[in-house]
């Protein structure tokens, strides 16, 4: 069993190289794999490994006063979600594309998963899914607006070009783990929106704590690792990624003509180049051989935040 921790913290950091080295050493010492981003505005990451190793990494992080109240969501998987460790220095831990946004001191009201259903049932609330279009396609809350963005940097433009936001309505936002809403809510505050709310801990915490019978979530939640998606209880879902076009493929997609595991899907089978088809087919062959040997093939990983 692999234990997974998704975490972030907006906090002013100064010695980034020293922080990176310390975080990387903690992960290597405790057999934790995953991706962690560090910037002057804070830290954002998902790591996986043995239970005691993940606990040791988080305890080590929280021993630094900057990270003592780190926001963490836990889950598990039977297969390794990550096969590598990547600790990177970035300009931002999540990029909104509008320059400086103070997500350390100025954000929306956090709403617990237990209070979320009551909030979004209010007819005066405008509910926004702050994720990208391909994520929304896997699952979302009933009645949520899909901005149709391909990247988070398009969110400000979407707000500015949508006339329904000119009156500065009450807004409730959600995203995977909470980090994008943290920054988007700070941006909206800067734009004059007074009543902005965000799902504390994001969709992951909601799916982990709200009973399925009480849930208003429809579908699964896209995650940026080899699980691809999770459902209620944060159990791994039944989706995979097309390696050629990056579309999310459900069971129905995989039953259609044109789906070739590890090579193509019905949407791209007619456009994939022969070079890519050959390379992907050989890669998939090596993955199958690795499975037969009981080992992992590094080329099969999806390592991203």
Give me the active site residues, please: 175
CA distances, 290 to each of 96, 239, 283, 286 (Å): 40, 21, 11, 6
Torsion region of 143: left, alpha or beta (phi above 0 gives left; psi -120 to 50 gives alpha): left
The whole-angstrom separation of Cα 230 and Cα 221 is 5
Torsion region of 49: left, alpha or beta (phi above 0 gives left; psi -120 to 50 gives alpha): left
Q: What element of type H or E holds 113?
A: helix 113-120
From the list 3, 56, 21, 13, the residue with the least C-alpha distance to 225 is: 3
The whole-angstrom separation of Cα 70 and Cα 302 is 25
Q: What's the length of the chain?
A: 305
The whole-angstrom separation of Cα 181 and Cα 200 is 9
Q: What tokens appear for 36 in the block?
A: 């962690």
From the list 111, 113, 101, 210, the residue with the least C-alpha distance to 170 is: 111
């Amino acid at each position: 069993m692999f234990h997974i921790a998704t975490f972030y913290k907006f906090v002013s950091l100064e010695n980034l190289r020293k922080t990176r080295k310390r975080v990387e050493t903690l992960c290597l010492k405790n057999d934790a794999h995953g991706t962690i981003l560090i910037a002057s505005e804070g830290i954002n990451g998902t790591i996986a490994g043995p239970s005691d190793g993940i606990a040791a990494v988080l305890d080590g992080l929280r021993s630094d006063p900057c990270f003592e109240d780190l926001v963490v969501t836990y889950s598990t998987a039977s297969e390794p979600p990550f096969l590598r460790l990547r600790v990177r220095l970035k300009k931002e831990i999540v990029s909104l594309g509008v320059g400086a946004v103070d997500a350390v001191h100025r954000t929306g009201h956090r709403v617990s998963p237990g209070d979320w259903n009551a909030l979004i049932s209010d007819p005066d609330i405008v509910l926004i899914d702050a994720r990208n279009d391909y994520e929304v396609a896997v699952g979302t809350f009933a009645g949520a607006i899909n901005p149709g963005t391909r990247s988070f940097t398009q969110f400000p433009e979407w707000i500015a070009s949508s006339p329904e936001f000119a009156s500065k309505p009450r807004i409730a936002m959600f995203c995977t783990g909470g980090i994008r809403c943290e920054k988007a809510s700070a941006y909206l505050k800067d734009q004059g929106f007074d009543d902005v709310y965000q799902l504390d801990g994001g969709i992951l915490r909601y799916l982990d704590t709200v009973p399925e019978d009480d849930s208003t979530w429809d579908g699964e939640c896209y995650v940026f690792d080899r699980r691809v998606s999770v459902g209620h209880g944060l159990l791994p879902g039944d989706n995979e990624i097309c390696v050629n076009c990056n579309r999310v493929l459900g069971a129905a997609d995989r039953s259609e003509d044109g789906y070739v595991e590890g090579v193509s899907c019905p949407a791209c089978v007619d456009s994939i180049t022969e070079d890519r088809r050959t390379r992907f087919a050989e890669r998939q062959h090596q993955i199958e051989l690795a499975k037969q040997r009981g080992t992992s093939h590094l080329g099969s990983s999806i390592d991203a935040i």
